[in-house]
């Protein structure tokens, strides 16, 4: 492996401001993303109390079915005593979902190691699985690439209920078939059989999307001691009981603070990432038909579409006796995370950082500051055949990002033009038009019906000539198919769907070529934990 780090233009306005505008950072966040912020955050955490024993027990019980490594066991013990945490999270995608799930976990692990060394205190890495999310369409597919063409492969089973990923049970036979089809798209290598066995074993041993995700991720990061917790895990919900009660009691104030902060965020030109409403409860109720969002109406918590309606007292009773029936939304989840965990730093992507930016006043309402927010690393993996093609065409990575492939393809196609053929086509059309004009003049007004046919006949011949030109162009493209496919391959691998590969492909497509030690070897690279883009040549 070879690592290259470089700055790329930042197109996201929120990330531009977070990286370079101190006023923006101080307006919407509590800490700057610098090493100097960590001792201050440690001091704040030391003044707060946590249910450490219960938290450690919940994580231990959750992870037990997936296997707890020696390193993970040590981290759980430390968290139960005095450790702080670096946390990142993601939805439970099939086959880990896109690469950025792995990139986020790598960032969490490396940042925890770095701060353990810098601060001289136990810092443990935690991956918070958003198992309570119910939009299965966001996680039920895997993209593959073949000969420069990108395909979205969707798990075929349908559901009409808004079930949480942790409650959504997949059909094992259907999932086995789906996984086999995906590996078939990858192509056979010396690593395929072992990887396929591992993934199929996870399919067989689990039943839900969340458990399938965690088993694979735990296998990839087990030796690093990465801790996992599902946001929908009942034991965690029990631990959150009193915090749900706080959210319910303070719901009007909480909603107002988030609404006003987002309004200021929008006025600054950054949009409305949460689309907060002043009547929002920022909680879901987990109903037998799925996860149902609540709002406030006349002092009650309601969902009009389903007809659900709770008084404040009824919802407080649920929080106390059946907290697993409540679920956080995008605004309350970060607050809950910080109430439950001693969060030193949170690792997030651009979208997450945008919605965290509107929560500062909500954090302060609960007499706590936001953790240090650290952007996850952004990584592009370059396979050997892709590097060969880059070298062959003298393309650098910034060239690719700047559209060099499309420009080179257009220039190549333009170079296929045959001036002699084009000249002959122009001359043919000119002569044809002249001859038909002579026929029109000759027949004049004596044969009006034939005159109309002359015009139609001319148009027919022009269409035939145009058809001939199209077929000539198709033949040129077919003749140069190998070269054109090399352009497609570069774009499809490095910039699929005009975006970074980490948002599209599963890591298993790269492990299939590189080998099962891909993640292990990536963790050994000397990454700089900054905002530069990481290019890794496999």
Q: Render pLDDT for 268-319 as a digit per residue (tens, 0 to 9).
A: 999 999 999 999 999 999 988 788 999 999 999 999 988 899 999 999 999 9
- Buried/exposed code over 239-249 (b: 16+ C-beta within 10 A; e: otherwise): bbbebbbbbbe
pLDDT, greater one: 8 or 311: 311
Instruction: Check whether 201 has a pLDDT greater than 70.
Output: yes
pLDDT in tens, 453-508: 888 888 898 898 888 878 877 776 676 667 777 888 888 999 998 899 999 999 99
Instruction: Check whether 160 has a pLDDT greater than 60.
Output: no
Instruction: Check whether 142 has a pLDDT greater than 90.
Output: yes
C-alpha to C-alpha distances, 448 to 13, 437, 458, 460, nearest whole angstrom = 66, 14, 16, 19
pLDDT in tens, 432-445: 888 888 888 887 67
Residue whose C-alpha is closest to residue 38's, from 116, 125, 128: 116
**Structure pTM?**
0.89
What integer pLDDT is reported at residue 406 of this predicted model?
82
Q: Where are the alpha helices (DSSP H) in 268-396?
A: 312-321, 332-340, 350-356, 360-365, 384-393
Query: What string of DSSP letters covers 226-261?
Result: -EEEETT-HHHHHHTHHHHHHHHHTHHHHHHHHHHH
pLDDT, greater one: 375 or 414: 375
Going by the DSSP 8-state scheme, the letter that residue 162 receives in this structure is B
């Amino acid at each position: 492996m070879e690592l290259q780090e470089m700055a790329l233009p930042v197109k996201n306005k929120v990330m531009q401001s977070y990286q370079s505008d101190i006023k923006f950072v101080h307006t919407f966040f509590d800490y700057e993303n610098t090493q100097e912020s960590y001792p201050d955050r440690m001091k704040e955490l030391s003044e707060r109390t946590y249910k450490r024993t219960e938290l450690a027990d919940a994580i231990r019980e959750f992870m037990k079915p997936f296997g707890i490594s020696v390193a993970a066991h040590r981290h759980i013990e430390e968290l139960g005593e005095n450790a702080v945490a670096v946390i990142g999270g993601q939805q439970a995608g099939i086959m880990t979902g896109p690469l950025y799930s792995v990139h986020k976990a790598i960032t969490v692990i490396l940042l925890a190691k770095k701060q353990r060394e810098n601060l001289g205190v136990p810092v443990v890495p935690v991956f918070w699985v958003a198992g309570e999310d119910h939009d299965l369409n966001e996680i039920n597919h895997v993209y593959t690439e073949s000969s420069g063409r990108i395909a979205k492969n969707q798990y075929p089973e349908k559901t009409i209920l808004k079930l949480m990923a942790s409650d959504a049970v997949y059909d094992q036979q259907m999932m086995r078939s789906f996984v086999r089809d995906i590996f078939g798209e990858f192509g056979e290598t010396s690593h395929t059989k072992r990887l396929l066995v591992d993934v199929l074993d996870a399919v067989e041993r689990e039943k839900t999307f969340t458990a399938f995700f965690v088993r694979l991720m735990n296998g990839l990061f087990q030796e690093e001691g990465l801790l996992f917790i599902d946001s929908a895990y009942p034991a965690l919900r029990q631990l959150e009981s009193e915090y749900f009660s706080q959210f319910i009691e303070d719901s009007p104030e909480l909603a107002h603070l988030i609404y006003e902060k987002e309004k200021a965020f929008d006025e600054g030109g950054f949009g409305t990432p949460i689309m907060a409403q002043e009547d929002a409860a920022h909680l879901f109720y987990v109903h037998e038909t799925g996860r149902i969002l609540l709002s406030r109406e006349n002092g009650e918590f309601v969902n009009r579409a389903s007809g659900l309606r709770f008084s404040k007292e009824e919802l407080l009773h649920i929080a106390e006796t059946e907290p697993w029936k409540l679920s956080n939304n995008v605004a309350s989840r970060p607050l809950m995370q910080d109430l439950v965990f001693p969060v030193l730093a949170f690792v997030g992507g651009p979208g997450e950082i945008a919605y965290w930016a509107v929560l500062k006043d909500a954090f302060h309402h609960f007499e706590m500051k936001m953790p240090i927010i650290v952007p996850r690393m952004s990584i592009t993996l370059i396979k050997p055949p892709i590097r060969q093609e880059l070298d062959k065409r003298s393309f650098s990575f910034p060239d690719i990002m700047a559209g060099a492939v499309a420009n080179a393809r257009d220039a190549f196609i333009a170079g296929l033009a045959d001036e002699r053929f084009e000249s002959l086509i122009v001359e043919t059309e000119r002569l044809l038009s002249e001859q038909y004009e002579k026929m029109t003049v000759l027949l004049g007004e004596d044969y009006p019906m034939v005159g109309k046919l002359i015009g139609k006949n001319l148009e027919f011949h022009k269409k035939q000539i145009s058809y001939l030109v199209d077929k000539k162009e198709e033949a040129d493209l077919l003749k140069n198919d190998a070269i054109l496919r090399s352009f497609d391959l570069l774009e499809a691998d490095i910039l699929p769907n005009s975006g970074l590969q980490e948002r599209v492909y599963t890591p298993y497509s790269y492990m299939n070529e590189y080998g099962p030690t891909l993640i292990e070897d990536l963790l050994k690279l000397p990454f700089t934990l900054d905002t530069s883009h990481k290019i890794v040549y496999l």
